[in-house]
Structure 1
Amino acid sequence: MSKSLVTGLVAVLLCASAHAIPRCELNGESVNPNNGHTTAGKSGVMRCTDEDGSVRRREQTLRDGRFVGPVVMVLADGERREYSVNDKGNRHGLARSFDSKGTLRKEENLDNGSHVGVQKQFAEAGYLQELHFADERRTVLTIGYLADGTLNELRCTPTSVVPQDREVCGHAGRVSEVTLYREAGKPSGTVSYLAGKMQRQSALDREGRVVRSEERKDGRLIRRTFYPATGKPRSETEFVESEANSRAGREGTAREWHESGQMTQETMWADGYEQRIQQWYLNGQPKQRVQVRRDGREQARTTERFWDNGQLAAVNVERNGRPLGWQKYFSEDGVLLREDEHGGERGLLQRRKHYNAHGGLEREERFLEDGSRIGP
């Protein structure tokens, strides 16, 4: 590559770099925010412009050479941001964002970079679209609005934190009754609160049919889902309500149905564990029954499986997930056909008995730990 070509490329790169650096001034002097020597010990408002950058205009306060205080930024698309930073460089206090038309779109309250208190988002048309309240870095209240003032989202907190939540969250001493809308005139569901605690709610599809519901009743939390076409139940969970309402302390019943209306499964829970599971064929005959017993870390499980004519097909016993003792298998007529004996820590097959169609013993086999057979 010729020397003149190299020189030309360097000049182009230097020119591009020059355009990438914003032009900034502080108290009438040229400064570079990326060079601390030019701002050391100085105070005032630094003003920068960069016609080619993503930030077209920037105004930032310096105190003794440190960026602390109000900041104004105007982005290439016209968005304007106003906020303040603390001595740690984190956003602190009130922050606002405006779109290119000057409409307020976001208003936040921050404490050392974390959201605290009221947070607002506004639609392009200017109306309040979302209202949030943050407490200890967690959003505890959410109210979503449509243009006509109706709600499209509501999540409440046990204590009233803004005037807007008193009625809708049931902080006025009575249960609230709120209809939520996906768009004007088209409801998406209903929700009721008392003292910030959800009492019942439902979700509707676009045709107005209930597809999901939830309610609190006598200390139990009941959740249901439905088949939209028929309105018949699809699933239901009814659990004793715990403080965390988590799987760890689950106690109650879970049920599932086929669209025909036939129940297909029912599971009983206690102390966070499955205790009994029942399943059914679509013809109504039992399909499987499972009984679970726990003793500390030990778990014993007995499973009964059935043919679709209601006859017992198998009985299996497990301990900690491994087969234990005699496992029994039956014909569709209910005649015992085979028995397998498992034992040891690994639940290995040890013996097998074969029976004829009348239930008479035909032969017996013994097995070594590698699965090979030995004589009777």
Structure 2
Amino acid sequence: MQRLSALLLLALGTCATGAHANIRCEFNGKSVNPSNGAETAGLTGLLRCRDENTGQLQREQELKDGKYLGRERFFDREGKLTRERSVNERGNSQGRVAEFWPNGQLKREEFAENGGTVGAVRRFDANGRPERLSFHAAGQEQFAIEYNAAGQPTRLQCPRASVLPEDRKPCGLEGAADTLLYTGAGTRAGQVRYDQGRLLLSTEWTSDGVVAQQMLYEEGRRVHRSFFTEGGKSVLREERIFAPDEPQRFLRDTRGPLHSLRRFGSTGQLIEQHGYANGREVLLERWYLNGAARERSTMTGNGEATRIQRELRDDEGRLRRRELLTAEQFPTGAQQQFHANGRMAQEDRYTAPYARGRTRLEARRQWDESGKLMADDTILEDGSRQRKAGGLDS
């Protein structure tokens, strides 16, 4: 509607400003300047504007008592109808609004209520084949389906209740239905499944015909999966499972609290996993590409009281470090490092958080691979060490 209004203003402006001096407007055979209210005052009937050089009709507008009210029609340079509508007392579109191709075929049709689109909007190509069908109500587009030149659907958006006969089958309003979607060139692009207007499954394919993305409901949760291509096959890259929504979000909505997040390597092996509870992360696990455990972190508490217990391992799965962190990632409490044989190598102790959540190292103990204590130090506030005189293994 905005596009049609802009074209109308351009056409009116062309005649009013005299940008094309060869346009002549007449009313009952008398020359009239349509932008001069004094010349149109009190007139009732049809104003016609023609190209003086060709005599082709360029515009028709209905006048009622000097006001533009009723039918408007616009033509191209060859005199072929390009668009038509009716306007109300406010100058806004009212009723049928239509555009046409140069060959006379209907290009676009909609219905307006005081300038706002209501009901069905249909768009066709120059051969009369449907390109798009939609339905508008309450200022929103509630249903839309688009087609390529072969009549195959390329896009589908469904309402929860039928608004047009064309929505009943593809939107699953007569029972769950799968619909294949295609590109403009006719290759398969995706698949959607609707049941009673609710989108339950959405799958997208690459130009090579392998799955690139999938969204579906499983056990009442939205599941979003993305894939990459490896050796001509689709390999899962990431999976996001959302917590059950109340009120329920649309399937394609990427917002909302998560239940879990998993990432995968090039051969499909799990390399990272996140767990969530009540909208916050409570577990993080990572693996090396060889399958060995790499990291495990658990999160407890809320806000400033959050604590992260983390274990880090080498690529053979051996524990190398264990640490306790604050929400700001500052170390607190015991931080432990281990030798390759599993014995403790070093233990640092940090204070509880103080100003701005910061902590300070206050003690350090070190052992060799046999378990012999090599150092037992107190760390003073200026960073200097105070080694205990006794207590070391002999």
Structure 1 equivalent of residue 110 of structure 2: 108
Contact 2:149–2:184 at 8 Å: present in 1 too? no
1:195 Cα deviation from its structure 2 partner: 1.0
Structure 2 equivalent of residue 317 of structure 1: 325
1:322 Cα deviation from its structure 2 partner: 6.0
Contact 2:123–2:132 at 8 Å: present in 1 too? yes
Q: CA-to-partner distance for each residue in 1:168-198, whole Å, 9 max, x for gaps?
A: 11112x2213222225763222222211112
Structure 1's 46 and 349: CA in aligned 2 closer, same or farther, altered over 3 A?
same
Distance 1:253 1:18 in 2: 66
Q: CA-to-partner distance for each residue in 1:122-168, whole Å, 9 max, x for gaps?
A: 12322001111122222121112233433222221111111111111
Match of 2:356 among 340, 346, 371: 346
Classify the secondary structure of the residue corresponding to 2:135: strand
Structure 1's 262 and 32: CA in aligned 2 closer, same or farther, altered over 3 A?
same
Amino acid at match of 2:379: E
* Runs (5+) with no aligned partner, structure 1: 1-16
Structure 1's 65 and 185: CA in aligned 2 closer, same or farther, altered over 3 A?
closer
Structure 1's 223 and 30: CA in aligned 2 closer, same or farther, altered over 3 A?
same
Structure 2 equivalent of residue 71 of structure 1: 72
Q: CA-to-partner distance for each residue in 1:86-120, whole Å, 9 max, x for gaps?
A: 22222232111112222211112222222221111
* Runs (5+) with no aligned partner, structure 2: 1-16, 387-394
Structure 2 equivalent of residue 304 of structure 1: 310
Structure 1's 63 and 227: CA in aligned 2 closer, same or farther, altered over 3 A?
same
Distance 1:249 1:184 in 2: 36
Structure 1 equivalent of residue 12 of structure 2: none
The farther-off stretch of 149-158 and 41-50 is: 41-50
Q: CA-to-partner distance for each residue in 1:262-294, whole Å, 9 max, x for gaps?
A: 212222233333332222222223333333345
The farther-off stretch of 150-159 and 338-347 is: 338-347
Amino acid at match of 2:58: R
Structure 1 equivalent of residue 9 of structure 2: none
Counterpart check, 1:231 vs 2:213: no
Structure 1 equivalent of residue 337 of structure 2: 330
Distance 1:65 1:360 in 2: 104
1:316 Cα deviation from its structure 2 partner: 3.9
For 1:34-113, what aligned pairs fall within 5 Å after superposition?
34-49=35-50, 57-75=58-76, 80-113=82-115
RMSD value over aligned CA atoms?
3.2
Structure 1 equivalent of residue 131 of structure 2: 129
The farther-off stretch of 249-258 and 21-30 is: 21-30
Question: How many pairs does the alignment contain?
Answer: 351
Match of 1:255 among 248, 252, 262: 262
Structure 1 equivalent of residue 152 of structure 2: 150
Distance 2:339 2:88 in 1: 78
Under a length normalisation based on structure 2, what TM-score does the superposition of the two structures give?
0.77
Under a length normalisation based on structure 1, what TM-score does the superposition of the two structures give?
0.80
Structure 1's 75 and 265: CA in aligned 2 closer, same or farther, altered over 3 A?
farther
For 1:112-261, what aligned pairs fall within 5 Å after superposition?
112-172=114-174, 174-182=175-183, 186-228=187-229, 229-242=232-245, 243-244=248-249, 249-261=256-268
Q: CA-to-partner distance for each residue in 1:299-347, whole Å, 9 max, x for gaps?
A: 614151514333243524223x363633625256462354443622412
Moved over 6 A (4+): none
